[in-house]
Amino acid sequence: MHNCKLPHKHTQGRSNHAQSSMQTLLRKNFADSIIFKPDKRNMNLKQQAAKEAVTCIKDKMAVGLGAGATMAYMVQYLQEQNIQVQVYTSSAATREQLLQHGFATGDIAGMACLDIYFDGCDQFDKDLNALKSGGGIHTMEKLLASMAKEFVLVGDESKYAETLSTKYPVVLEVLPQARSFVTMKLVSIYQDITMEYRQNATGAFMLTENGNLLLDVWFTTWPAPAQLNTTLKAITGVVETSLFYNLATKAITAGEAGIKIFTKV
């Protein structure tokens, strides 16, 4: 575990869940996949993935949680563990879930490192690169992912693809003052893109918690993730991108065949 200061400790839970036994070991390109079958009665796939992900959390860890339904299930299962943890989150909705389950969340600004961070995604590839376009909080999510010794993607089996699909955009958080400059730079670099700043129902620009704009960029063909990541982040005015390149260390998915755990080789 990291040598991170834990300003508060919180004990939760009265029961421990036995881990399912591993049955089959698969190897795929740059990732290992471990598959086994959990008890699926009255559980959907997100619940199954969340229940397995919680087994990665150990006593006295500094834990980060992202956003989405799977993270809400993780909060529920984390409460059932008889361990002490300090929890940090990038999501207002997850923070509310944590408070409802008796957890106090720590101040991210007061931490330099986490032991482990969990989040969902739109999709991840064989190298565990991921796209996150939904909530528009990817800058904070990426901060927590970068702070963590281990970053675990959690979701159902539809989230995995050998290569990332162009049906999902890469989302840029952009300084309002750089709105026109960033689009001009993008068009000068890439000829096969469409892009649009997010707006609300009244036509006003949607703003992040940091007061910045969100620009959805769709490619007809994905550039190499390493190249794309470097190019986008080098544009002045781009605060961060929703491409999580070379950050995840593990992915846990649930499907009809059971749980798969992908790890980098």
Token pair 């689009």 is found at: 183
Concatenate the DSSP letters of all residues of 172-208 into one string: EEE-GGGHHHHHHHHHHH-SSEEEEE-B-TTSPBPB-
Q: Which of 52, 80, 141, 173 is catalytic?
A: 141
Q: Are residues 120 and 175 in the same domain?
A: no
pLDDT digits (tens, 9 = 90+) for 92-123: 999 999 999 999 899 999 999 999 999 999 99
Q: Are residues 75 and 201 in the same domain?
A: no
Q: Is the pLDDT of residue 223 over 90?
A: yes
Q: Are residues 99 and 216 in the same domain?
A: no
Q: Are residues 133 and 252 in the same domain?
A: yes
DSSP summary character for residue 101: T
Q: Are residues 130 and 196 in the same domain?
A: no
pLDDT digits (tens, 9 = 90+) for 151-209: 999 999 999 999 999 999 999 999 999 999 999 999 999 999 999 999 999 999 999 99
Q: Are residues 24 and 107 in the same domain?
A: yes
Q: Are residues 136 and 211 in the same domain?
A: no
Say if 5 falls within a structural domain. no
Say if 186 falls within a structural domain. yes
Instruction: State yes or no: is 96 an active-site residue.
Output: no
Q: Are residues 147 and 200 in the same domain?
A: no
What secondary structure, in 3-state letters, does 113-167 show?
A: CEEEEEECCCEECCCCCEECCCCCCHHHHHHHHHHEEEEEEEEEHHHECCCCCCC
Q: Are residues 197 and 253 in the same domain?
A: no
Q: Are residues 153 and 127 in the same domain?
A: yes
CATH code, domain carrying 223: 3.30.70.260
Say if 1 falls within a structural domain. no
Q: How many domains does the chain have?
A: 2
Say if 207 falls within a structural domain. yes
Q: Are residues 102 and 123 in the same domain?
A: yes
Tokens of 119: 């989040």
The whole-number pLDDT of residue 15 equals 32
Query: Which residues constitute the domain of residue 39?
Result: 10-160+246-264
Task: State mean pLDDT over 21-40.
Answer: 33
Q: Are residues 15 and 111 in the same domain?
A: yes
**Cα-based distances in Å from 193 to 9, 54, 184, 238, 261:** 48, 39, 12, 17, 33
